[in-house]
Each structure stands twice: as C-alpha cells, then as structure tokens.
Amino acid sequence: MTSFQVMPQDMEAIATGGAFLGTGGGGDPYIGKLMAQSVMAEKGPVTVISPDDVEDDWLCLPVCMMGAPTVMVEKLPNGSEAGSALAQLEAFLGRRADALICIEAGGLNSTIPFAVASATGLPLIDGDGMGRAFPELQMVSFTMHSVSATPMVLADDKGNSSIINAISNRWTERLARCQTVEMGGAALVALYPMSGAEVKRGILRHTLSLIKEIGETISAERNAHRNPAEALIRRLGGKRLFSGRVADIDRRTVGGFARGQALFKGMEADEGKSFRVDFQNEFLICRGDDGAPMAITPDLICALDADGGLPVTTEQLRYGLAVTMIGLPCDEQWRTPAGLDLVGPAYFGYNHEYAPLHSLS
C-alpha cells in the first residue's frame, strides 16, 4: 500500500500546485482549500491511495465544481451540495462509493475533492482525469476509455438537484452547462461513475502527489528567495518558454467562454523579442515573433509571477505584469488521436497542427 495522509496544513501546497497546473484557468483554489481545511479540522485528514491499490470491482466517483469560479469566490457553497450530489448518485446507482476521484488537478477542482473525502471518510485516488485544467466536462481521459459522464447529479445551495442521462459526454456538457447557469452560475456535481478497473485504465496517475510536490517546491524556492521556475522545469521535465511583461491584452466573450490573447515584451534573456499567448480560460498556445508555435494545447502552458514566484491566472494578467512562462509536456494519453480530438488545437479553433513541446523551438 502506498497511501499517504493529507493534513489541513498540506492543503496550502496542494492549492498552490493546483493553481500552477491550472495553466491560467480553473479558478483560484483558495476557497476549496479553506473548505477542505475547515472540514478536516472537524472530520480529520484525508487518505490518498495509489490507483494500483484500487480493487477492480470498486465504485469510484469524481466530485467537483462546475460553472464559473468567479461566481464561487462571491457565492460560496453552502457546504452540503457536494455531499448531496454524491449521496444522490449513490442512491440512483443503488450502491455506496468505495473511493473518490479528483476530475481536474488544476485550479479550484484540485482542492474541492479533499473537502468531500474528509466529510465522507472515503479515500481519494492519487490521480485525475486531466493532469491540468480544461474548460469542458467531456475533456477527461475517461472519455477516451468510453466511460460515460452520466448518470450525473448536479446540486445547488438551495437543495435543488437533477440527474442527467445523456447519449454522449459532449451532450452531458451542453445540458449540464445550462443548468449551472440557472443554479446561480456554479453547481457541485458527481459524475462519471466507474469501476476500479476503469479507473486503473483511464486515470492520469499520481497527479495529486505531484501538485503537492509542486506546491512544496514553489514554497521552498520562494523561502530561499529564488524564483521557482528553474526548479519546477527540472522536476517536471518542462521547458522555459520566455520571461516577459504584458504589453497588451485583449479579452472577449465567445460562445460563453472568456477568450483572448496577451502580447508580451521579452525581458532578461528574451530582451528584444515579443511573444503572444492565446487563452480560452486556460493558456492554449504560445507563439514567438515569427508566429511559430512554441507550445500548443494539450501541452501545458503555466505562468509564474516573475517577481513573487506564484502562479498567475488569465484573469490576473494586466498591463506591465512580469511573468515567466513554462511549457510542460502533457500526459501521453492526450497525444493520441483520440486525445487530440478532445483537447487538441483544432477543437479550440486554431489552425496549427499539434506538435509535442520538446519538438518545437
């Protein structure tokens, strides 16, 4: 058994690491961290188990937030929504869950499952469905393994809930998205019911220990007055894309998502160059002066504040902010044709062919 305990104080590191793998989106994990800490103070620590220790016949359920993180920082959850969504999905399936899954190891959803795991006493499996943040519900590795997102339960703060059954995970996304708006812009959901065997096939492994380690690295480097970029690149096999200041930023709403692009003026070693990063909630494509891509989704593009060393979200980008952009290779599952169909550049409307991070200059 390679399990470990997560204590309230560990949530600091998990939230920071989750913000980093949020690739600019996914929402600030702060609220989720506070929720997890306050539940843990009462109900105790969370046990995180390796996917290898999950029994094939277990029922495993992801629980997460769906909707706008900007709403969540203002209208905090009641606290019972996630537990209620979980209980109703269990009731519908006629079976209790054996373990919980984190659907998204980036942003707010990296911390929410810890609150639910502590409240229910269920173990949390070390891994997730994205290895980062993505904007839509079907964008998880489980989709590639034919796991259905439904039956899915959405629950709000007032006690409303609904069960969705859909013919595909894309349809689930469309139907659930409308309901979150009616529920006040954010809802807590339980979905993708799957067996332990399915978990072992589909899950991106050990991403929860990874975000904890990333958070600990960021904190240790900052305490030593170093920018964490170099240490993270070494540890994660990533690549320094550039350091620069925001010279222009353009945002607009297209099809319900915050899209935009930021232009950066290079600094330090990148003095004299310019860079462009396109985002749709998350950073999706990074290009140099000549327009040639330097990193493309689903590879990760992560931003650190060049001064303070903390992760930066697309919402925090503003004129003059200095950032260091880091590229990280995505999980191999995302580089398959099925993976690129779900989250490759074409899905987000870019004309570039995907090419792996380390093949680009």
Partner 1 sequence: MYRLGIDVGGTNTDAVIMAGRSVLAGVKAATTEDVTSGVIEAMEAAISKAAVERSKITHVMIGTTHFTNAVIERKHVNPVAAIRLCLPATACLPPMVDWPEDLRQTVGGHRYLVRGGYEFDGREIAPLDIDELDRIAADISAKELKAAAITSVFSPINAAMETAARDHLMKRCPGLRVVVSSDIGRIGLLERESAAIMNASLLELSGRTVDAFGRALQAAGLSCPFFITQNDGTLMGAEMVREFPVLTFASGPTNSMRGAAFLTGESDAIVVDIGGTTTDIGAIQRGFPRQASTVVDIGGVRTNFRMPDVFSIGLGGGSLVRGTGGATSVGPQSVGYRITKEALVFGGGTLTATDIAVAAGRASIGNPAAVASLSGELVGEALAEIVQMLERGVERSRISPEPIPVIAVGGGSILMPERLGDLRVIRPENFAVANAVGAAIAQVSGEVDRIFSLANGLTRETCLKQAEEEAREKAMRSGAAPATITVIEREDVPLAYLPGNATRIHVKVVGEMDGVHA
Stretch that binds partner 1, among 27-35, 124-132, 192-200, 330-338 (CB under 8 A): 27-35
Pairing between β-strand 59-67 and β-strand 99-101 as defined by DSSP bridges: parallel
Residue of the chain from 47, 50, 90, 135 that contacts partner 1 (CB under 8 A): 135
By rule CB under 8 A, what string of x and - marks binding of each residue 292-331 to partner 1? -------------x-xx-x-x-xxx-x-xxx---------
- Shortest Å, Cβ 75 to partner 1: 5
Are 357 and 239 spatial neighbours (Cβ–Cβ below 8 Å)?
A: yes
Residue of the chain from 245, 273, 276, 335 that contacts partner 1 (CB under 8 A): 245
- Asked if the bond preceding 135 is cis, omega within 30° of 0, the reply is no
- The amino acid occupying position 105 is A
Residues 167 to 196 in contact with partner 1, rule: CB under 8 A = 177-178, 180-181, 184-185
Residue of the chain from 18, 77, 288, 345 that contacts partner 1 (CB under 8 A): 77
* Largest pairwise CA distance in the chain: 63
- Shortest Å, Cβ 135 to partner 1: 6
The β-bridge partners of 152 are 164
Number of residues that bind partner 1 (CB under 8 A): 54
Stretch that binds partner 1, among 12-20, 51-59, 265-273, 290-298 (CB under 8 A): 265-273
Q: Where are the beta strands (DSSP E) in the chain?
A: 4-6, 46-49, 59-67, 99-101, 124-125, 127-128, 152-155, 161-164, 186-190, 194-195, 204-205, 239-254, 257-266, 274-280, 282-287, 293-296, 300-305, 322-328
Q: Alpha helices, DSSP H only, in the chain?
A: 11-21, 30-43, 69-72, 81-93, 112-120, 141-144, 169-182, 196-202, 207-223, 229-236, 337-343
N- to C-terminal Cα separation, the chain:
42
- Shortest Å, Cβ 8 to partner 1: 12
- Closer to partner 1 by CB, 55 or 268: give it: 268
By rule CB under 8 A, what string of x and - marks binding of each residue 140-169 to partner 1? -----------------xxx----------
Sheet holding 300-305, edge to edge: 293-296, 282-287, 274-280, 257-266, 239-254, 322-328, 300-305
By rule CB under 8 A, what string of x and - marks binding of each residue 104-123 to partner 1? --------------------
- Closer to partner 1 by CB, 320 or 337: give it: 320
Stretch that binds partner 1, among 89-97, 124-132, 267-275, 349-357 (CB under 8 A): 267-275
- Sequence-distant (6+) residues with CB within 8 A of 357 are 238, 239, 295, 299, 327, 328, 329
- Closer to partner 1 by CB, 310 or 360: give it: 310
- Closer to partner 1 by CB, 70 or 336: give it: 70
Torsion of CA 66, 67, 72, 76, to 10 degrees: -50
Are 293 and 360 spatial neighbours (Cβ–Cβ below 8 Å)?
A: yes
Are 298 and 204 spatial neighbours (Cβ–Cβ below 8 Å)?
A: no
Q: Is 334 left (phi over 0), alpha (psi -120 to 50) or beta?
A: alpha
Angle ∠(105,244,13) on CA atoms, nearest 5: 30
- Closer to partner 1 by CB, 41 or 292: give it: 41
Instruction: Report the distance separating Cα 333 and Cα 84, nearest Å.
Output: 32
Residues 35 to 54 in contact with partner 1, rule: CB under 8 A = 35, 38
By rule CB under 8 A, what string of x and - marks binding of each residue 268-297 to partner 1? x--x---------x----------------
Stretch that binds partner 1, among 147-155, 161-169, 235-243, 256-264 (CB under 8 A): 256-264
Residue of the chain from 253, 351, 359, 361 that contacts partner 1 (CB under 8 A): 253
Q: Which residues bind partner 1 (CB under 8 A)?
A: 25, 27, 31, 34-35, 38, 67-71, 73-80, 135, 157-159, 177-178, 180-181, 184-185, 225, 245, 251-253, 255-258, 267-268, 271, 281, 305, 307-308, 310, 312, 314-316, 318, 320-322
